[in-house]
């Protein structure tokens, strides 16, 4: 090939290279101008066959063309790669300034908040938290709690029985946890057992077929009603305010003797004072200790049970119990 021909080869190659719009087009240009069958390759391959006096000049010129073409290819490759990367980034752009999807924060249910507060107060007095099944046997809910057959509390109009079986029921109180815990541990026992209970109560603003109780049980040597009273006073003062007074009024529960109602003082907005009945309590009946395998000569105990939801209503000023169970966010958000 003559010099003018080589110039033309170079000019064509450089034109095609700069005209390539994509890496694929550039690859086609590379094959056409530097591939094995390209004029440049054939020229370089044919140098050996030339008369010796021409070899040097043609070789030099052809190699200069090859270097120029290769340099142009490298430069254009870099440009096109940068362009394609830019285009890809453009396509996949995320606009970080757009407002995100709202992600509301959850909060504890007001009943859970009150439950945890009650647990904390009693744990501060050395109690531990215990748990028991919601589907219970009539032995744990009634018999071992000194509630004989024929007692009105066992009536099907108060209790949800499971599959019509008289021995399987939804617990109507958290007191069976006392039984389970006394059966499996030795005094001293200090425990609280919060959880749901079920009764076929009329459904109105203060009753629901499911509600929550918290049971407390202390069994030790030398416990008396004075310990119960002191515990109740401390508990309700920490929960509802230090100015509260408590009053124990005689009552009846089958599994405590004596039994009391725990009343807590309140002052309403207009300054009127009164008493709220907030817990049932009493000294554990020795029969119950014996049912549970505890030495009733050596140990005494006291127990108390209160309605968690009722206390939450007072605590938060909620007028209707059912609001707690409807899961209406407009209500729940107020406790977040």
Residue 282 near residue 257, CB atoms below 8 Å: yes
Token pair, residue 209, equals 């077929």
Nearest distance from C-beta of residue 151 to ligand PHE, angstroms: 13
SS3 239: helix
Nearest distance from C-beta of residue 159 to ligand PHE, angstroms: 12
**In the complex with ligand PHE, which residue's Cβ is closer, 110 or 280?**
280
**In the complex with ligand PHE, which residue's Cβ is closer, 43 or 159?**
159
User: Omega before 204 cis (within 30°)?
Assistant: no
Q: What is the SS3 string spanning 105-155?
A: CCCCCHHHHHHHHHHHHHHHCCCEECCCCCEEEHHHHCHHHCCCCCCHHHC
Query: Binding residues for ligand PHE, how many (CB under 6 A)?
Result: 11
Q: Characterise 317 by phi-psi region: left (phi > 0), alpha (psi -120 to 50), beta (else).
A: left
Residue 261 near residue 277, CB atoms below 8 Å: yes
Among 13, 239, 289, 303, binds ligand PHE (CB under 6 A): 303
291 binds ligand PHE (CB under 6 A): no
Q: From the centroid of its chain, how far is CA 164?
A: 36
301 binds ligand PHE (CB under 6 A): no
**In the complex with ligand PHE, which residue's Cβ is closer, 58 or 260?**
260
Residue of this chain nearest to ligand PHE (CB atom): 305
- Return the DSSP state at 188: S
**In the complex with ligand PHE, which residue's Cβ is closer, 81 or 131?**
131
**In the complex with ligand PHE, which residue's Cβ is closer, 39 or 305?**
305
SS3 203: coil
**In the complex with ligand PHE, which residue's Cβ is closer, 198 or 253?**
253
Max Cα separation, the chain? 132
Report which secondary-structure segment, H or E, holds 284: strand 273-284
CA distance 304 to 122: 12
Q: Characterise 127 by phi-psi region: left (phi > 0), alpha (psi -120 to 50), beta (else).
A: beta
Closest listed residue to residue 10, CA positions, set 49, 62, 88: 62
Q: Using CB under 6 A, which of the segments 103-111, 228-236, 274-282, 324-332 binds ligand PHE? A: 274-282
**In the complex with ligand PHE, which residue's Cβ is closer, 38 or 256?**
256
Nearest distance from C-beta of residue 282 to ligand PHE, angstroms: 5
Among 305, 310, 312, 324, binds ligand PHE (CB under 6 A): 305
- Write the binding mask 240 to 259 for ligand PHE: x where contact by CB under 6 A, - elsewhere: -------------x--x---
Closest listed residue to residue 187, CA positions, set 50, 316, 54, 301: 301
Nearest distance from C-beta of residue 174 to ligand PHE, angstroms: 7
Residues 159-218 within binding reach of ligand PHE (CB under 6 A): 173, 175, 215
Q: Using CB under 6 A, which of the segments 46-54, 95-103, 154-162, 299-307 binds ligand PHE? A: 299-307
**In the complex with ligand PHE, which residue's Cβ is closer, 70 or 201?**
201
Nearest distance from C-beta of residue 150 to ligand PHE, angstroms: 19
282 binds ligand PHE (CB under 6 A): yes
**In the complex with ligand PHE, which residue's Cβ is closer, 110 or 307?**
307
CA distance 136 to 178: 13
Report which secondary-structure segment, H or E, holds 53: helix 52-91
Closest listed residue to residue 132, CA positions, set 191, 218, 200: 191
Q: Using CB under 6 A, which of the segments 11-19, 43-51, 135-143, 301-309 binds ligand PHE? A: 301-309
- Give me the residues that bind ligand PHE (CB under 6 A), please: 173, 175, 215, 253, 256, 280-282, 303-305
């Amino acid at each position: 090939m003559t010099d003018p021909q080589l110039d033309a080869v170079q000019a064509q190659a450089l034109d095609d290279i700069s005209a390539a719009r994509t890496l694929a087009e550039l690859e086609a240009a590379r094959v056409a101008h530097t591939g094995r069958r390209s004029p440049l390759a054939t020229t370089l391959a044919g140098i050996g066959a030339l008369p010796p006096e021409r070899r040097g000049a043609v070789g030099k010129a052809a190699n200069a063309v090859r270097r120029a073409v290769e340099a142009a290819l490298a430069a254009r490759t870099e440009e096109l790669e940068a362009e394609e990367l830019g285009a890809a980034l453009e396509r996949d752009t995320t606009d970080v300034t757009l407002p995100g999807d709202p992600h509301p924060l959850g909060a504890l249910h007001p009943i859970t908040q009150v439950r945890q507060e009650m647990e904390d107060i009693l744990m501060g007095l050395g109690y531990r938290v215990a748990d028991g099944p919601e589907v219970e046997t009539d032995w744990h809910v009634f018999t071992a709690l000194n509630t004989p057959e024929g007692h009105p509390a066992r009536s099907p109009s108060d209790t949800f029985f499971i599959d019509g079986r008289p021995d399987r029921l939804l617990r109507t109180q958290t007191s069976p946890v006392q039984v389970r815990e006394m059966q499996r541990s030795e005094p001293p026992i200090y425990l609280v057992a919060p959880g749901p209970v079920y009764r076929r109560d009329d459904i109105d603003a203060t009753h629901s077929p499911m509600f929550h109780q918290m049971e407390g049980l202390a069994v030790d040597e030398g416990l008396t009603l004075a310990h119960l009273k002191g515990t109740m006073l401390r508990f309700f003062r920490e929960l509802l305010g230090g100015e509260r007074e408590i009053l124990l009024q005689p009552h009846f529960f089958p599994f405590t003797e004596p039994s009391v109602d725990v009343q807590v003082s309140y002052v309403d907005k207009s300054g009127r004072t009164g008493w709220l009945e907030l817990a049932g309590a009493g000294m554990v009946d020795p029969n119950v200790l014996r049912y549970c395998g505890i030495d009733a000569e050596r140990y005494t105990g006291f127990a108390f049970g209160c309605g968690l939801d009722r206390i939450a209503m007072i605590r938060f000023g909620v007028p209707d119990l059912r609001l707690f169970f409807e899961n209406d966010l407009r209500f729940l958000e107020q406790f977040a």
